[in-house]
Structure 1
Amino acid sequence: MSSKAHSTGLRAKHRQPSPRKQSLPLPKANAEAINFLKSIQPKDLQLLVFSETLAMVSDTGEPLGELTIDVQKGKYRDELGVISYCLIVHALNRGFLDNLLCGNSLLGYLSGKMEIMEQHSHEFIKLLVLPMERKTSLVRQEDQLAMTRIVKEGEEMKTEVTFFPWNSTAGFISEAANLVILRVMAWRQMVPSNARFLALDTEGKLCYSTYQALGFQTIQVGHQQAEVFIVEQTVHSDEGIPMSCQFYLFSDGHLAKRVQVGSPGCCIITKMPILREQDEIEPPPVFEKKPLAWEEDMELYSKFMDRKEELRLSHNSYMLHHPEAHALISDFLLFLLLRQPADVVTFAAEYFGPFSVRRQPTPALPSSNRPSPFRSLAPEPSSSCGFTPASGEG
């Protein structure tokens, strides 16, 4: 989904977008909030991938609509065509409020660090006189976060574009990230103490966002009772009153209830989900190393004897067809026993060196004191001093 896909309408009175920047100084998240986001590991995210559905009900229990939240793993392609792994968050809320159709949808792409890659949200309420609609898009563009807001009231439409420096968005919690972070808090059964995150208020301005643990409560779902962990999120707008929302969470992150403070209704689960448990990684089994008594195994012993006989016949055949090899080895061993050098390896190198095709030819009458090229790597034993096979010895 691309931000370029938003339609402006054919008959709407459309004001030209006006790029702007939020007035400085911008609010900053504190260290507690940033450290909490850094503490989220890839293994934590694997437990948060599932979908859920809640019913929207009024204060009297009358059904008003439905809320679905889905978090899945996926891939994201940026403007340069680079593909990276991400979490895809999709939420849809649609129902009636005072007999008026209203709803909102959300589609967000998050990195493993809960950083926003791209997000699109759409809110609407079908008022009889003046229908209202608001679309907000967030897209990371290199070193900045671009926000496009389209607000439509009746036939009048206003578009606003805002750019936030990327380094000012540390600790920013988008709507999509909020749904994932609540699941993390449910698994950990805790809220970061004194953490002050960043969020967007209803006017699209950066402000502070905080979370507070309200304790545990036992609720009834059908014929079952379950304990939930209550977390309250508050968005502190600089221009309006704070907006708070309470989330009742099961131990695995499933949402049991959501209450917008001041709203006449709420969202509540109608069927008890199958709660997930964290997999315990068992240590790999340890197998003791046992000696292999292959001589006692008739099959292995038979294969060994067959292979041994095969090699013996092959070696005899080779020596039969190459009698010069036998003569060369016999000559070397005879000379080795006559000289009995202390360094057998250097002696063998000097003996077989003249047979190499890469070695330069030696003069017909070489000096007996001529230094050997092999003596630079090892000390020259006195017993083999002056030996040169090309001189005619041996």
Structure 2
Amino acid sequence: MSSRVYSIGGKRADPRPSGPENLPLPEANAEAIDFLSSLRRKELQMLFFSETLDMISDTGEPQGELTIEVERGKYKDEFGIMSSCPFVHAFSRGFLDKMLCGNSLLGYLSWHLEAREQHSHEFIKFLILPMERKISLMKQDDQLAMTRSIKEGEEVKTGVTLFPWHSIKGFVSEAANLVLLRVMAWRRMVPSNACFLALDTEGNLCHSTYQALGFQTIQVGRQQAEVFIVEQTVHSEKGIPMSCQYYLLRDGHLAKRIQVGSPGCCIITKMPVMREEDEIEPRPVFEKKPLVWEEDMELYSKFLDRKEELRLGHTSYLRQHPEAQALISDFLLFLLVYQPEDVVTFAAEYFGPFAARRPPTPALRSSHRPSPFRSLDRERDAGPWAD
């Protein structure tokens, strides 16, 4: 159940007495909720673009312009956490029976098109009593707060309605509707028997349905384009249903919008740049081929150059360090004299005293002292070299 508080002329008034507002709120069905749950971030990101349509009268005269922008935005929630989200900005300005009118819409949505925050402003400059209407939606903890303000002349009426968050599953705000239509165009389908929730012109929660009217070829400038027609109907419980027909190109661009029963429409005058889904190409597979580098003249030439470079470098190092050659010669001499079975251990014992971190060998030591490089069994077989 929703609760309302109204004020007139800026002064807070008592809540309305019990009546229709205290009746159970309408609910979206499972098909609608499942469709919204199926939305994915990658899919919505393909629908981020702006478009502009001309507003024309039923006689073809230009009346104004409608612009719709859907892009990535940043939103800070009630806990101060900043995150990315779909951001919708739509605005129009034109004339209705020679009277200036217009509206603007700002909306932040979740990636499942839940309303986080939305502000709409509509005005008509009537000659006698100019009308202005503002509606704000704000998610607050576990509820959605709607503030509605209507100004006629100098009189201002303001109302606040609180909807429990759990009771508005499947709710599609004005901003979410613009994105949802692009999704339906992209998928080329409308969810069967889905019944969503929406707000009527009086700010009451009611059912909203979508119906696919098929495909049609229309003329856009000098080109012909196939469009997918979707009709949305808001079923107000207190008034007559309001329907709009949307002619959508395959990538979600709106080619034409008609409000049933209203003179005029919105239409594009030239074909937009169509967006295509990015196709991920498979990674190339390179067949392994045996490399016979000796037969490759370039590789063989590099090998010879590198071989000569290393030979000259080694020769230069030994020339600069003659003690290295003397040390190796002594080791080979001892190796040939003793001819040990274990050459590796012999080499370790020979070069061990040269280690920088090895403690100095005492001047007097036992010839039977165990070697750290061999086991006791091997120590016994080593003979005099165990010293």
- TM bucket, shorter chain: 0.7 to 0.9
1:50-89 matched pairs, under 5 angstroms: 50-78=49-77, 82-89=81-88
1:134, distance to aligned residue in structure 2 (A)? 1.2
Please give the alpha-carbon distance, in whole angstroms, between the structure 2 residues aligned to 1:110 and 1:309.
69
1:36, distance to aligned residue in structure 2 (A)? 2.0
- 1:256–1:292 Cα change, 3 Å: same
1:295, distance to aligned residue in structure 2 (A)? 3.0
Provide the residue aligned with 1:14 in structure 2: 10
Provide the residue aligned with 1:150 in structure 2: 149
Please give the alpha-carbon distance, in whole angstroms, between the structure 2 residues aligned to 1:337 and 1:140.
90
Please give the alpha-carbon distance, in whole angstroms, between the structure 2 residues aligned to 1:43 and 1:300.
48
Percent of pairs with identical residues: 67
Provide the residue aligned with 2:247 in structure 1: 248
Instruction: Work out whether residues 17 and 159 of structure 1, in 8 Å CA contact, stay in contact via their aligned partners in 2.
Output: no
Please give the alpha-carbon distance, in whole angstroms, between the structure 1 residues aligned to 2:368 and 2:33.
80
* Greater Cα shift, 77-86 or 31-40: 77-86
- 1:226–1:313 Cα change, 3 Å: closer
Please give the alpha-carbon distance, in whole angstroms, between the structure 1 residues aligned to 2:155 and 2:382.
104
Please give the alpha-carbon distance, in whole angstroms, between the structure 2 residues aligned to 1:214 and 1:255.
15
Q: Secondary structure at the match of 1:271?
A: coil
Instruction: Work out whether residues 368 and 386 of structure 2, in 8 Å CA contact, stay in contact via their aligned partners in 1.
Output: no
Instruction: Work out whether residues 350 and 388 of structure 1, in 8 Å CA contact, stay in contact via their aligned partners in 2.
Output: no
Correspondence 1:182 to 2:195: no
Instruction: Work out whether residues 352 and 358 of structure 2, in 8 Å CA contact, stay in contact via their aligned partners in 1.
Output: no
Q: Secondary structure at the match of 2:198?
A: strand
Provide the residue aligned with 2:94 in structure 1: 95
Please give the alpha-carbon distance, in whole angstroms, between the structure 1 residues aligned to 2:30 and 2:337.
81
Q: Secondary structure at the match of 2:272?
A: coil
Provide the residue aligned with 2:386 in structure 1: 393
Instruction: Work out whether residues 116 and 139 of structure 2, in 8 Å CA contact, stay in contact via their aligned partners in 1.
Output: yes
1:25-174 matched pairs, under 5 angstroms: 25-78=24-77, 82-174=81-173
- 1:87–1:353 Cα change, 3 Å: farther
Q: Secondary structure at the match of 2:192?
A: coil
Please give the alpha-carbon distance, in whole angstroms, between the structure 1 residues aligned to 2:298 and 2:251.
55
Provide the residue aligned with 1:231 in structure 2: 230
- 1:275–1:309 Cα change, 3 Å: closer
* Greater Cα shift, 161-170 or 254-263: 161-170
Q: Secondary structure at the match of 1:147?
A: strand
**Count of residues in correspondence between the two structures:** 371
Please give the alpha-carbon distance, in whole angstroms, between the structure 1 residues aligned to 2:127 and 2:55.
22
Q: Secondary structure at the match of 2:228?
A: strand
Provide the residue aligned with 2:5 in structure 1: none
Unaligned ranges ≥5, structure 2: 1-7
- 1:17–1:120 Cα change, 3 Å: farther
Provide the residue aligned with 1:6 in structure 2: none
1:320, distance to aligned residue in structure 2 (A)? 4.4
Q: Which amino acid aligns with 1:191?
A: V
Provide the residue aligned with 2:4 in structure 1: none
Instruction: Work out whether residues 189 and 251 of structure 1, in 8 Å CA contact, stay in contact via their aligned partners in 2.
Output: yes
Please give the alpha-carbon distance, in whole angstroms, between the structure 1 residues aligned to 2:13 and 2:287.
72
Unaligned ranges ≥5, structure 1: 1-11
Offset from partner CA, 1:208-237 (integer Å, 9 cap, x none): 222111112233334443332111112233
* Greater Cα shift, 183-192 or 255-264: 255-264
Offset from partner CA, 1:267-290 (integer Å, 9 cap, x none): 223334344444444334333233
1:249, distance to aligned residue in structure 2 (A)? 1.4
TM-score for the superposition, normalised by structure 1: 0.74
Please give the alpha-carbon distance, in whole angstroms, between the structure 2 residues aligned to 1:353 and 1:78.
70
Please give the alpha-carbon distance, in whole angstroms, between the structure 1 residues aligned to 2:84 and 2:156.
36
Offset from partner CA, 1:305-356 (integer Å, 9 cap, x none): 3434444555563774557974898699889984559xx8x99999999979
Please give the alpha-carbon distance, in whole angstroms, between the structure 1 residues aligned to 2:88 and 2:99.
27
Provide the residue aligned with 1:5 in structure 2: none
Q: CA RMSD in A?
A: 4.4
Q: Which amino acid aligns with 2:97?
A: D
Q: Which amino acid aligns with 2:84?
A: Y
1:122, distance to aligned residue in structure 2 (A)? 0.4
